[in-house]
Amino acid sequence: MRMPTPDAAVIVRRAEIAADLRKILPGEGVIEAEDERRAYEMDGLTAYHESPLLAVLPSTTEEVSRVLRYCHDHGIKVVPRGAGTSLSGGALPLADGIILGLGKLNRILEIDYANRCAVVQPGVTNLGISLAVQHAGFYYAPDPSSQIACTIGGNVAENAGGVHCLKYGVTTNNVLGVEFVLIDGEVIRIGGKHLDAEGYDLLGVIVGSEGLLGVVTEVTVRLLQKPTTARALLMGFPSNESAGASVAAIIAAGIIPGGMEMMDKPAIHAAEDFVHVGYPLDVEALLIVELDGPPAEVDHLIARVEAIARANAAVSIRISNSEQERLNFWAGRKAAFPAVGRISPDYYCVDGTIPRRRLSNVLTRMRELAVKYDLRVANVFHAGDGNLHPLILYDANKEGELERAEALGADVLRYCVEVGGVLTGEHGVGVEKRDLMGTMFNDADLNQQMRLKCAFDPAGLLNPGKVFPQLHRCAELGRLHVHHGQTRFPDLPRF
């Protein structure tokens, strides 16, 4: 993975830049010492690391604005960072750029139950929001698996999902407004406690922009009332095909479960060996379907899902009759990553989305690729929305295994695109999938996306090296090419 060549002229000015930034952030807000900077050298994509020029930790929107203005005026690159849990390298530092850590902006500013929303600073954790409102029966719906650590600012940058998003939406569907700062220091507010801001939906592009458009300093999120009941079914199937057919039949029957997760045989075994909750080991695929809502609805739908699964060859069906039992069903799925981490020195989590009907093709191809690259793969799958998470097992200490794991992951993602899917369902492009963007988008598509970037950050100082294989100059992107020197309307019938 090639990152933009660091600018040695910036790196030699490290001490001077630190001194300038300390005038904006007195005290401990500017981290310069090499051993302290190293704490920021990677995020959740641990294969890559780089020590940043400096780590800068503002406490207020005003400080964020002044730091950005300084970087803008001095041509210094900025990599925004929340909790650093990105799995795609979204917060991977640059040697000639500062890390802008938003962790000190960690206050919940307002909880407004009458308008069912909360106003929070970007460093508040995802789970922190739900914990703050749970006494009133509310929660914040998107629940990425890192929710105990990941911050809402990072969630906004990555448009984070989770296991409940088919029914409750991802981050973009649950954010009402943001305050953000442009690279030149301008503070802009969009939306608020009302729905659908006026004018262009810039909130919709800020969410999921992976830190390339602006730095979010405040977020207004929607709060939902927690469903009164949740019950789950744990169902084993003799093949991935029959499990996939059950998923399609559940949706075709008009049922949108709160969660619908699938695991393949290697994932089932790894999870059961780790948490011992009684997953069936003689099946090829496991489906966990959770229904939530009013008790009358949940009981009614549980019976319907059970009937559908039986009609689709389920060999074992358990239905939770207590909260503990429901949590046990989930325990293996939730522990799937550490469980795999126990049977392999390292693993690499891939994130693609496919049309669900192509699941068996994709799993078959994955098995072939695993043989080709001589690596093991375990699969967990957000079955409701087609979001696959193959976990590729490797050993970083063995020569060439990381490279093989990455090559296998890239081949899997290329195949996802080939069958009509996409490169990333919820982890983001970051550096990880940057060079694969061309498999999904042609130059015209990518140029149009970069023109949006130009509207926000014409100098390309915010998070360079992420998302786009090559960032073109805005002047070049803005040039109009009149086709074939055409200056006349074509000779078409006019009405």
Partner 1 sequence: MSRFRPKDERELTEIIAAAVAQEEPLELVAGGSKRGLGRPLQAPHVLDLGAFAGIQQYEPEELVLTAGAATPLAEIEAALDRAGQMLAFEPGDWRALLGASGSNPTLGGVLACNLAGPRRIRQGAARDHFLGFHAVSGRGEVFKAGGRVVKNVTGYDLSKLMAGSYGTLAALTEVTVKVLPRPEATRCVALRGLADDSAVRAMTEALNSSHEVGGAAHLPAPVAPESEALTLIRLEGPIPSVEARAAALRRELGQFGPIEILADEPALALWRAVRDVSPLAGLAERVVWRLSVAPSAAPDLAARLASGLDFRHFFDWGGGLLWLAVKGAEDGGAAAIRGALGTWGHATLIRAPDALRAAVPVFQPQSPALAALSARVKDGFDPKRILNRGRMYHEL
Contact residue for partner 1 among 35, 254, 324, 371 (CB under 8 A):
254
Please check whether residue 99 is in contact with residue 55, taking contact to mean a CB–CB distance below 8 angstroms. yes
User: What's the gap between Cα 231 and its chain centre?
Assistant: 27
The 266-305 contact track toward partner 1, x by CB under 8 A, reads: ---------------------------xxxxx-xxx----
Shortest spacing between CB 123 and partner 1, in angstroms: 22
Task: Tell me which residue of 289, 307, 304 sits closest to 384, measured CA to CA.
Answer: 289
Across 455-488, b (16+ Cβ under 10 Å) vs e yields ebbeebbbbbbbbbeebbebeeeeeeeeeeeeee
Residue 255 binds partner 1 (CB under 8 A): yes
Which of these ranges, 328-336, 338-346, 397-405, 416-424, lies near partner 1 under the rule CB under 8 A? 416-424
Binding flag, residue 48, partner 1 (CB under 8 A): no
For 460: left if phi > 0, alpha if psi spans -120 to 50, otherwise beta; the answer is left
- 106: contact with partner 1 by CB under 8 A: no
The whole-angstrom separation of Cα 246 and Cα 248 is 5
For 32-56, the DSSP string reads -SHHHHGGGS--S-TT-----SEEE
**Opening angle at CA 216, ends 118 and 69, nearest 5:** 145
- Structure-block tokens of residue 257: 């479960």
29 binds partner 1 (CB under 8 A): no
The binder of partner 1 chosen from 234, 387, 392, 463 (CB under 8 A): 387
**Binders of partner 1: how many residues, by CB under 8 A?**
108
Nearest to 161 by CA among 376, 324, 388: 388
Which of 5, 9, 321, 495 binds partner 1 (CB under 8 A)? It is 495
Q: Is 134 in the site for partner 1 (CB under 8 A)?
A: no
Interface with partner 1, residue 225, by CB under 8 A? yes
User: In the stretch 136-175, what mask flags binding to partner 1 with x, by CB under 8 A?
Assistant: -x--------------------xx-x---xx--xx-xx--
Within residues 435-454, the interface with partner 1 by CB under 8 A covers 437, 440-441, 444-449, 451-454
Candidate residues 18, 108, 131, 205; the one interacting with partner 1 per rule CB under 8 A: 205
Which of 322-330, 339-347, 373-381, 423-431 is the region at the interface with partner 1 (rule: CB under 8 A)?
423-431
